[in-house]
Amino acid sequence: MEKFSNKVVFVTGSSKGIGRTIAEEMLRKGARVVLNGRNRDVLEKTADELSGPGRELLQIAADVSAPEAFSSALDQVLERFGRLDILILNAGLSSYGAVEKTSNTSLEQVMRVNTFGPFTGARIALPHITASRGSIVFISSLAGLHGIPYSSVYSMSKMALTALAQSLKTELTGKGVHIGIVYVGFTRNDPAKTAVAPDGTIRPLQSRPGWVQQSPQKVARLILRSIRRRRFRTTLSTMGRLMAFFSRYFPRLFQFAMRGMLKSAQKLTAE
């Protein structure tokens, strides 16, 4: 409780899904939370549902992948709370499609939100996180550990966060700032979850089989634990840890297993 009590926590992309659950968990622990999303109506509804006695919430409707929008959001955070302790760069887009069918519209959209957005956010917020000796946490995915068939763009966008987190951690040596990256496994999706199709349009995302998914509540609790312990790298779920181990130490065996996944990946992403 004490660890997060009164801390100012900005969770990008927290109007639904995992970000919303992280925000809720932080509020429960006594943090002052900044909620964010682009869709104003969804954000308002979430803010209403999460507010309650003794809870301090600020909602900011903004596309945080745009540098000016992120700067203006940060100004609002500082104006309201005077500081920023924890920045969780969670806003992200899912995408799918075979490489040969994927347009540059899809590529640019996903890279802008999933990679350029976190880079820009981390850069702009850094002086304030340094002042509070706080945390910057990047939300990556198992797709950031190894390229996933029919999800190349998403994998690229999340793998790039590893390089960013590693560079930043080393650059900040001795400054007392915690940098973390969390490789999130398959998580039960918000029913309204969408994904970027190969042609760049936004489509509803088909659900995965229930047995492979963690609940967003469990994912949020594990993310909070990794922040509390100031861990650099956290891989969630048994599948994630197996993936990290086999892709690193037994790459050929891992490739073989990935070929087995081809059919189900093809089915999930069929156009």
Ligand X SMILES: NC(=O)c1ccc[n+]([C@@H]2O[C@H](COP(=O)([O-])OP(=O)(O)OC[C@H]3O[C@@H](n4cnc5c(N)ncnc54)[C@H](OP(=O)(O)O)[C@@H]3O)[C@@H](O)[C@H]2O)c1
The single residue among 139, 156, 224, 227 that binds ligand X, judged by CB under 6 A, is: 139
The single residue among 55, 101, 169, 193 that binds ligand X, judged by CB under 6 A, is: 193
Q: Is 16 in the site for ligand X (CB under 6 A)?
A: yes
**CA dist 234 to 140, 141, 162, 222, Å?**
10, 10, 11, 9
Q: Which stretch binds ligand X (CB under 6 A): 87-95, 167-175, 239-247, 249-257?
A: 87-95
Count residues contacting ligand X (CB under 6 A)? 30
Q: Which is nearer to ligand X, 14 or 226 (CB)?
A: 14
Q: Which is nearer to ligand X, 12 or 235 (CB)?
A: 12
The single residue among 4, 7, 11, 15 that binds ligand X, judged by CB under 6 A, is: 15
Q: Is 121 in the site for ligand X (CB under 6 A)?
A: no
- Looking only at residues 29 through 48 of this chain, which bind ligand X when binding is defined by CB under 6 A? 36-39, 42
- The CA distance from 234 to 149, in Å, is 23
Catalytic residue selected from 96, 150, 154, 183: 154
Q: Which is nearer to ligand X, 168 or 243 (CB)?
A: 243
Q: Is 58 in the site for ligand X (CB under 6 A)?
A: no
Q: Least distance to ligand X from the beta carbon of 137, Å?
A: 11
- Looking only at residues 203 through 242 of this chain, which bind ligand X when binding is defined by CB under 6 A? none
Among this protein's residues, is 96 annotated catalytic?
no
Instruction: DSSP for the chain, please give it.
Output: -TTTTT-EEEESS-SSHHHHHHHHHHHHTT-EEEEEES-HHHHHHHHHHH--TT--EEEEE--TTSHHHHHHHHHHHHHHHS---EEEE----EE-B-GGG--HHHHHHHHIIIIIHHHHHHHHHHHHHHHHT-EEEEEEEGGGTSPPTTBHHHHHHHHHHHHHHHHHHHHTTTTT-EEEEEEE--BPPPTT-EEE-TTS-EEEPPPPPGGG-B-HHHHHHHHHHHHHTT-SEEE-SHHHHHHHHHHHH-HHHHHHHHHHHHHHHHHHT--
Please give the structure tokens belonging to residue 256: 């073989």
Q: Which stretch binds ligand X (CB under 6 A): 10-18, 172-180, 240-248, 259-267?
A: 10-18
Q: Least distance to ligand X from the beta carbon of 211, Å?
A: 14
Q: Which is nearer to ligand X, 130 or 190 (CB)?
A: 190
Q: Is 180 in the site for ligand X (CB under 6 A)?
A: no
Q: Which residues contact 124 (CB under 8 A, 6 or more apart)?
A: 67, 70, 71, 74
Q: Least distance to ligand X from the beta carbon of 32, Å?
A: 19
The single residue among 51, 56, 63, 233 that binds ligand X, judged by CB under 6 A, is: 63
Residues annotated catalytic, as ranges = 154
Residues making contact with ligand X (CB under 6 A): 12-19, 36-39, 42, 63-65, 90-93, 113, 117, 139, 141, 184, 186-187, 189-190, 193
